Amino acid sequence: MTRVSLSPSRRSESVLNGRLQIAAYAAVCLLIFLVPLGIDDDFLLNRIARYLVLGMVAMALALSWGYAGILNLGQALSFGLGSYCMAMALKLRTVPVHTGSEGLPDFMVWNNVERLPLAWVPFQSMTFAIIAGILVPVLIAALLGWFMFRGRVTGVFVAIITLAALVVGNLLIIDLQSYTGGFNGITDLAQLELFGFEFDAYSASTYYLVATCLTVSLFACLAVTRSKAGLIFQAIRDDERRVRFFGYDVAAFKILAMSVSAAVAGLAGMLYTVVMEFASPTFLDVPLSLSIVIWCAVGGRQSLVGALIGAILIAGMQGALSESEAFLDSWTLVMGVTFVLVVLFLPNGLAGLVTLIRNRLAQSSRRSEGAALRPALAEVSASKTGDKS
């Protein structure tokens, strides 16, 4: 939002800020790529890859929630659909015990399915599966977005509709047991093979796959937020009606925001299946979806990299503490309290804290330069980024 300001010195400052932002994002990605050099434990590497994937979903939510103001409580729906697409393709690459090669997946045999269901057939092609893993979530998000935003549904109602859609998806996946494996999900998968290269979940190769996808999607999202569309997203978040009066098609932009977010979440879902080596209905259940919101809120809903780091930190700590029962119990308690405190005092999360400190510093340095009017401007822009949600 600082970019709106017109005075030449402010503009050069915002360009500088933009470069700083890119540098910070690049530094985080570089750090992520350097991790395997210091870690020799494949098990640990797999776990970190898992947190990176969760960070990707949180980042996707930051795009739709923090930038466009769409609180999507059903983010896990896109994630889960992506993971099921990948799991279906990987399942078909295994050699079933009962039916031999090219045969039916084991759970279908248990459910007395005679032939491979039509919806499963195209998943014999990995290319199709990868495209579907992104397109299916996008289509569903776009459909839902079209349905909501063309009717000018806003605020809480968006949250409730997306939540309801998630529950419907979850119920259906569990209920269609013979096609989806029901409660158990899809297990015993083959390893992902791309361009003749095998991705073992417990190896650095999978980690690098995740890190690459994460970097690409982080910068893709960053590009979106810095484009004209990204500015309009933020304008919609701050005052939807004003943007409509300027002649923009608000609904179309909101649908776009939700679709981009769903694409990233779908990609993350596919990676999650590769990392976890199974897909289950818990990948699209309400607790996970709400956790995504929390990661995003704690990290900073208006910062892509903030949400990413929030997810990695929280999921990582939870994972580290979950080894001992006593810690896990008190951890949940601490987490809940922390979350309430963050919502109360840091509405923009950890990233907001960084901005706050930076603004304070900039303010004091400007003061020492003797520019009298600037701090007031800085305060205005700080309070603007602050309170709206």
User: Which positions touch other proteins (CB under 8 A)?
Assistant: 71, 147-148, 151, 153, 155-157, 159-161, 163-165, 167-168, 171-172, 174-175, 286, 290, 293-294, 297, 329, 332-333, 335-337, 339-340, 343-344, 347, 387, 389
Q: How far is the CB of 183 from other proteins (least distance, A)?
A: 11
- Rounded to the nearest 5°, which phi and psi values hold at 260? -60, -45
Question: By C-beta, is 170 or 273 nearer to other proteins?
Answer: 170
Q: How many CA atoms lie within 13 A of 82 on its CB side?
A: 29
Instruction: Indicate the residue type of 83.
Output: S
**Is residue 122 packed enough to be buried (19+ CB in 10 Å), middle (13-18) or exposed (0-12)?**
middle
Dihedral sign, Cα of residue 161, residue 167, residue 170, residue 175: negative
Q: How far is CA 198 from CA 195, 203, 204, 227, 252, in A?
A: 8, 10, 11, 37, 40
CB 76 within 8 A of CB 285: yes
Question: By C-beta, is 183 or 367 nearer to other proteins?
Answer: 183
Question: By C-beta, is 114 or 387 nearer to other proteins?
Answer: 387
Query: Dihedral of the CA atoms 333, 337, 343, 348 (nearest 10)?
Result: -80
Q: How far is CA 156 from CA 151, 161, 163, 276, 389, in A?
A: 14, 9, 11, 33, 12
Dihedral sign, Cα of residue 387, residue 350, residue 337, residue 54: positive
Whole-angstrom distance, CA of residue 283 vs CA of residue 288: 7
Q: How far is the CB of 20 from other proteins (least distance, A)?
A: 28
Whole-angstrom distance, CA of residue 255 vs CA of residue 135: 14
Question: By C-beta, is 74 or 269 nearer to other proteins?
Answer: 74
Q: How far is CA 128 from CA 89, 93, 113, 178, in A?
A: 9, 14, 23, 22
Greatest Cα pair distance, the chain, in angstroms, is 81
Q: How far is the CB of 124 from other proteins (least distance, A)?
A: 29
Question: By C-beta, is 365 or 383 nearer to other proteins?
Answer: 383
Question: By C-beta, is 68 or 211 nearer to other proteins?
Answer: 68
Question: By C-beta, is 113 or 153 nearer to other proteins?
Answer: 153
Question: By C-beta, is 316 or 386 nearer to other proteins?
Answer: 386
Q: How far apart are the first and last CA of the chain?
A: 14
